Structures are given as C-alpha cells and as structure tokens.
Chains A and B, each alone.
Chain A
Amino acid sequence: MKITIAGESKEVADNLTIQELIVEEKVESPLYVTVAVNEEFIERAAFDSHRLKDGDAVEFLYFMGGGR
C-alpha cells in the first residue's frame, strides 16, 4: 500500500503498524517521537496496535531542544 511520510509518498507493507514503521524508517529517539496520522496524534500505547491504511498521511514530530 501507499502512504505518505512527511508529505512524501512511500510504498510500505499492508497493515503495517506504527511501531513497525518507526523501526523501518529508523526514526531517531523512537521512544520520544510524536506520531500523527491524518492530522491526529496517536497515543504511544497504540503504536503497536494501530495499523496503517492505504493513503494514510503519517508525520513524525521530533523534540528539538536547542536554541541558545
């Protein structure tokens, strides 16, 4: 199936879970990433159970602590 990640289209396995996508995408600091699917945040507790669907738009939001 096709999903978009950060606006870019990508072919992934059907029924992939968010947790599997996090691993596949080698997401940095995976324990602290915020995930949105179709403009809704997904609770961390649901990363293992939430299965992605064809056409889903996924965003990873990362902590960035610098500034000074």
Chain B
Amino acid sequence: MAFTNEQLERYSRHIILKEIGAKGQKKLLNGKVLIIGAGGLGSPVALYLAAAGVGTIGIADADVVDLSNLQRQVIHTTADLGRKKVESAAETMRAINPDVTVNPYYQFINSSNIMELIKDYDFIIDGTDNFAAKFLINDACVMAKKPLSHAGIVRFAGQLTTVIPGVSPCYRCIFKNPPPKDAIPTCKEAGVIGAMAGVIGTLQALEAIKFLTGAGELLSGSLLTFDGLEMAFHKIKLPPRGAGCAVCSDNPTITKLIDYDQPVCELKKKD
C-alpha cells in the first residue's frame, strides 16, 4: 500500500521521525486498537489515535453524554448532550481523520461479550471507571494474550502500566482482587481534575503507538504514577510476572472471567 500525497502530508511529522518513519506509519494504518470507555481517558486516546492514523479504532461504551462529563471528556461537545458517547466519539474521530475506520460498540463490557470484543484488536486500552471493569479487562486480555494499557485517575493523580501477557506483570499481579465497594473513593465521590484524564489518556495513546510501531520501550514491568499537585512522575519497577498471580502465573487459579458485583449505580452512573 503506497501513501497518497495527502497521507504523506498528513503524517509528515511522524514519517520524519526515525523511530516511526514510513514503515511505522504503515504499521499504524494497519493497526487495530480497542478503547474501552469513551470518557475521560478514552477521549484523548481516541483523539490522538485517530489523528495518528491508527487504521481501525474500536470504542465501547453504553453511556450517553451528560453535562457533568464535559469537564474532562473532551471528545464530546455541548451539542452532543444526550447522544450515545460512542457515536459522538466516532463522529469526532472520523472528522479528524477519514483514513480511520471507527467501530463503535454501544455496550458495557461483561464476561460474556468481552472476548468477542477484543479478539480482532492488536492493543486494548482500559479507559473504564470501576474496578469490576478493570479486573475483567485485565483477566480477558491475559487469557486472550492481548496487550493492554491499564490506567486509573482520581483527584490530581493518575497511574498507568502496560501489560504484555505472558511477559510482563498484569494488573492482578499488583492488586490481587477488587476492593470492596465504597472502600476506595471514585472520581464521582472524590473528584478529578479534567486535565489529569488528558495527561494519563495521552500517555496511553503513546503506549499504543509505540506498541504498534515498535518505537522505544513500553511501560511494561513498571507502574508510572503522576502527581499533578507536585508535578512529579514516579516509575515503580514491578516484580516479575506471575509467581503468585491468580490469572497470569503459569498455573492460574482464575481460568474463567468474573463479573464482580458492583452496585448498578456504580456501573451505570454517567461519569
């Protein structure tokens, strides 16, 4: 596949990079990334991956745009209030870059649909807002051997890690089980600075681009934390994969996906 003149111009700042080049840009155009959650984290991921020319982008969410979302979910506008987030996001991505095929999935993930959703994608982005979803995505990606960018944000803080199943530690290697409901404050209860979703989501987009192109070193084997009040990044080196992990060790005790019991308001709430 040769580049059109428009593509050469559109992607010129990528193509000039020695880590990307024409070869890397082709990999991006052939790349398939699934973004789970079309909200705070999912917005910058979707915007930057569409702009970068990632050829196929899936986006899954069963929510509609709510006024309280717009403080941080920058892919949606005031005119989108009440629309399905995946439709609003898909429209913005297509408007940014017609090279991109966007697959919107108007559904929340659960143990029965996630394997089917992730199976055609090269890289998965966790942009969800609850522990049930974060553990489900982690376990499904480990079982299906799908590379994953995990992230979380709250208040002025955020963190992320990249999981390469079978190689680097997974989310469950760090956090064995979801905390009981209401044990850890959510963004809705504790608040979150909108720009934090931008910082951490943009880093997730960068990881997807690096994974697809092979540029640099992935954030696997480390948890990167960011404190926006102190303006400090900190990289925590993680112990090797597996040893005691219930899902990614060589003899896992979790071999079936689990729908953790989260109260309906937690899963359905519009943030």
Mutual binders A and B:
yes
Chain A residues at the B interface, C-beta cutoff of 8 Å: 6-7, 29, 31-32, 34, 36, 39-41, 59, 61-68
- Report which residue of A29, A36, A61, A67 has the largest number of chain B beta carbons within 10 angstroms of its beta carbon: A67
Asked if A63 and B175 make an inter-chain contact with CB atoms under 8 angstroms apart, the answer reads yes
Interface string of B182-219 (1 = CB under 8 A from A): 01101100101000010000000000000000000000
Asked if A67 and B238 make an inter-chain contact with CB atoms under 8 angstroms apart, the answer reads no
Q: How far is the CB of A65 from chain B (nearest CB, A)?
A: 5
Asked if A67 and B41 make an inter-chain contact with CB atoms under 8 angstroms apart, the answer reads yes
Instruction: Answer whether residue B167 sits at the interface, using C-beta atoms and an 8 A cutoff.
Output: no
Interface residues on B, range: 35 or more
Asked if A68 and B134 make an inter-chain contact with CB atoms under 8 angstroms apart, the answer reads no
Asked if A68 and B158 make an inter-chain contact with CB atoms under 8 angstroms apart, the answer reads no
Instruction: Answer whether residue B53 sits at the interface, using C-beta atoms and an 8 A cutoff.
Output: no
**What are 24 A-B pairs with beta-carbon distances under 8 A?**
A6-B234, A7-B234, A32-B179, A32-B183, A36-B236, A36-B238, A36-B239, A39-B237, A59-B236, A63-B131, A64-B157, A65-B134, A65-B186, A66-B152, A66-B154, A66-B190, A67-B41, A67-B126, A67-B129, A67-B151, A68-B63, A68-B127, A68-B128, A68-B129
Interface string of B37-49 (1 = CB under 8 A from A): 1111110000000
Q: How far is the CB of A67 from chain B (nearest CB, A)?
A: 4
Instruction: Answer whether residue B34 sits at the interface, using C-beta atoms and an 8 A cutoff.
Output: no
Q: How far is the CB of A39 from chain B (nearest CB, A)?
A: 5
Q: Which residues of A contact B151 (CB under 8 A)?
A: 67
Q: Which residues of A contact B63 (CB under 8 A)?
A: 68
Asked if B175 and A66 make an inter-chain contact with CB atoms under 8 angstroms apart, the answer reads no
Q: Whole-angstrom distance between the alpha carbons of A64 and B157 in the complex? A: 9
Asked if A63 and B179 make an inter-chain contact with CB atoms under 8 angstroms apart, the answer reads yes
Asked if A63 and B152 make an inter-chain contact with CB atoms under 8 angstroms apart, the answer reads yes
Q: Which residues of A contact B179 (CB under 8 A)?
A: 29, 32, 63
